[in-house]
Structure 1
Amino acid sequence: MSSLFAFPGQGAQQVGMLHQLPAGTSASLEEASDALGEEVLALDSDEALHSTRAVQLCLLVAGVACARLLLQRSPAPDYVAGLSIGAYAAAVIAGSLDFADAVRLVALRGELMQRAYPQGYGMTAIMGLDQATVERLLAEAEGPVFLANINADNQLVIAGSDAAMAAVAERARALGAGAAKRLAVSVPSHCQLLEAPARELAAAFAEVELCRPAIRYLSGSSARPILDPERLRDDLAFNMCRVVDWHGTLRTAYERGVRLHLELPPGAVLSGLARRVFEQGTVVAFQGARLDTLDALLREEVSRSR
């Protein structure tokens, strides 16, 4: 038996999320502010979170700060994984990417994505249709729209222009989709529209040192473990323009013996997805849970694996 730390992606952000972090996380907030050259606590207001850069930085800082807090008292997980921007926090906790470097790279990542598509684009979740049906709708669509996330067998996310997504959503509802909901994401992530910004980010990544993960890192794009630092560099730099296979990532974790899925802040979106895969096991979110409860769960998994 083993455990997984899962870090959420864009769309999970919450107003005030950094101000609501538990006691003991101030050192991480200060480290992020020093690396950024600005006060990170100014980034989680309602107004600030309209910026892709601010959202992504808040998600990185919240995930790393809370994971570090838990690791001060608890055994390390066997695996880490992150959905989209969550991969950066996963790489930091795995010991592969320095936190200060991650902060600077994520700030650039958000700026590049926002600059490429400042308006008129985004992402839409479609629930209740299988992947083949959604891909057929995308193939028939007029305008730029692509498959972006495979979150579950019948929960997919598309990315593209507002008009093209709206047309696909309307057809999806006509075919019986339970919901087709525009997400709180203002850029068309995880599709070929972001290939040029990804290449710019990769150039910046070339100047940063990465190490072999000390904790096994699962890619949210390939749904496979990555050990080689150069492959990890590629995975992080280009995940903005690659389809997220989160369902496959969870299945890989489960098949490798993970029975404790712990979602780092903010929110519990990933926990809902994990419960579909972890039929035998425990799924829990950091937010809303007691630290001693999480510590006990992690220690229990360690004792079971012996």
Structure 2
Amino acid sequence: MDEKTAVVFPGMGPSSFAAVGKFMVLDPYVGQLLPEADAALGYSLLDRFYSSDEEYSEYTQVAFLVNSLALARRAGDELGMRPGYCTGPSFGQKAAAVWTGCLDFPDAVRMTAELARCEQEFFATEYSDVVTHTVMRVPGEALRDYLSGLTDRGHWYEVSGRLDDGFVMVSLSAGLLAEFKRAVSAMGGYSMSTMRPPVHATAFRGLRRKAAEEIFPRYEVRAPGIPVVADQDGRLVETAEDMRRMLLDTFDVAIDWPAVVDSLVRLGVRTVYVTGPENLFRRVRCTTRNFEVVPVDPKNTLQNMLRPVRPTEPAL
């Protein structure tokens, strides 16, 4: 175990079959996990994932979990990754829970599918008009002034995540999205992705209660085998109780990636392996200026798998 190394299971972005399907079919580490996932689900994950056209369907979410864990196994076997710490911002918590021994893989697969259905049921009737929009390079004071203006006009919003300076996730009514994008552009910032269903807001405490009452009691959550850094505030998670709390906090507590980075720096971490299909957490400045970043993702892995091997020239 290397105390100067951490594994980061990234948050989930759009991850379609078109983007990762070939990797899933060819990668032997995915191949080891798929039969277990299929048995846990009672259906073929690849078949359902192939047929799904929703960015955050239960099939897409389980596929993301499988891919993240497969890539971490590959990093361990081929790159010698032996992390002393683990973190998993947002959806990455689920893979972190498996990697650190808090959840068995089949349980994590079932929980992921059940939570996806739970969210779908909740947002069908509650906050059905809300989205979470991610923006970057936005001056902090200008953004605060705009958001204060929303409050003055009687509109609701919440900051659902802080990823770096000027890089935030904001939950608000879908009816305000076009206006918000124009405002961000006028501030000199950039709009990135929009998530529906929305995430990480105190307004969603009802979803937290629903998950805590209907789903979590069916699963044993154990203490992590290595310390986990919580994505909400950078605290160390070392007990089963705190791990369960972290998993539930994801519904109604904003993520704070700079706080995670600060904790890892204080712990002496110098290298982070980012294992999963993403291009966000490994690229933000607070990550790149503090660590050596080793990305392990489907695209690069697939390219390496398909790279032709040149025959060895005979010795003279």
Pick the TM interval, shorter chain. Answer: 0.7 to 0.9
Structure 1 residue 148 and structure 2 residue 160: aligned? Answer: yes
Structure 1 residue 129 and structure 2 residue 135: aligned? Answer: no
Alignment CA distance shift 1:145-1:15 (3 Å): farther
Alignment CA distance shift 1:7-1:131 (3 Å): farther
Amino acid at match of 1:57: V
Deviation at 1:173, TM superposition (A): 2.8
Partner of 1:5: 7
CA distance in structure 2 between the partners assigned to 1:132 and 1:44 by the alignment:
42
Partner of 1:304: none
Deviation at 1:181, TM superposition (A): 3.2
Deviation at 1:233, TM superposition (A): 0.5
Partner of 2:104: 98
Partner of 1:301: none
Partner of 2:118: 112
Matched residue SS, 2:23: coil
CA contact (8 A) 1:188 1:194 kept: no
Partner of 2:310: none
Identity in percent: 22
Amino acid at match of 1:29: L
CA distance in structure 2 between the partners assigned to 1:162 and 1:182 by the alignment:
13
CA contact (8 A) 2:261 2:286 kept: no
CA distance in structure 1 between the partners assigned to 2:231 and 2:140 by the alignment:
17
Deviation at 1:51, TM superposition (A): 4.2
The TM-score normalised by the length of structure 2 is 0.82
Partner of 2:314: none
Amino acid at match of 2:203: L
CA distance in structure 2 between the partners assigned to 1:147 and 1:280 by the alignment:
25
CA contact (8 A) 1:82 1:89 kept: yes
Alignment CA distance shift 1:132-1:213 (3 Å): farther
The answer for unaligned runs of 5 or more in structure 1 is 294-306
Partner of 1:34: 39
Give the counterpart of 2:67 among 34, 37, 62. Answer: 62
Deviation at 1:130, TM superposition (A): 4.3
CA distance in structure 2 between the partners assigned to 1:67 and 1:12 by the alignment:
20
Deviation at 1:84, TM superposition (A): 0.9
Matched residue SS, 2:218: coil
Alignment CA distance shift 1:125-1:50 (3 Å): closer
Deviation at 1:43, TM superposition (A): 4.1
Alignment CA distance shift 1:121-1:206 (3 Å): same
Structure 1 residue 201 and structure 2 residue 207: aligned? Answer: no
Structure 1 residue 88 and structure 2 residue 94: aligned? Answer: yes
CA distance in structure 2 between the partners assigned to 1:52 and 1:137 by the alignment:
33
CA contact (8 A) 2:139 2:189 kept: no
For residues 72-83 of structure 1, the aligned pairs below 5 Å read 72=77, 74-83=80-89
Matched residue SS, 1:181: strand
CA contact (8 A) 1:125 1:180 kept: yes
Deviation at 1:244, TM superposition (A): 0.8
Matched residue SS, 1:261: strand
Amino acid at match of 1:125: T
CA distance in structure 2 between the partners assigned to 1:111 and 1:132 by the alignment:
38
Pairwise CA RMSD of aligned residues?
2.4
CA distance in structure 2 between the partners assigned to 1:62 and 1:230 by the alignment:
27
Amino acid at match of 2:114: L
For residues 137-176 of structure 1, the aligned pairs below 5 Å read 137-141=146-150, 142-174=154-186, 176=187
- C-alpha distance after superposition, 1:46-76 (max 9, x if no partner): 7443443233222211112221333345342
CA distance in structure 2 between the partners assigned to 1:64 and 1:24 by the alignment:
9
CA contact (8 A) 1:144 1:164 kept: no
Deviates more, 1:226-235 or 1:192-201: 192-201
Partner of 1:188: 198
CA distance in structure 1 between the partners assigned to 2:145 and 2:51 by the alignment:
37
Matched residue SS, 1:143: coil
Deviation at 1:28, TM superposition (A): 0.9
Amino acid at match of 2:68: G
- C-alpha distance after superposition, 1:92-147 (max 9, x if no partner): 10111111111111112111222222454322112222445434433331433210
The answer for unaligned runs of 5 or more in structure 2 is 305-316
Alignment CA distance shift 1:189-1:290 (3 Å): closer
Deviation at 1:171, TM superposition (A): 2.7
Deviation at 1:19, TM superposition (A): 4.0
CA distance in structure 2 between the partners assigned to 1:289 and 1:172 by the alignment:
33
The TM-score normalised by the length of structure 1 is 0.85
Structure 1 residue 23 and structure 2 residue 34: aligned? Answer: no
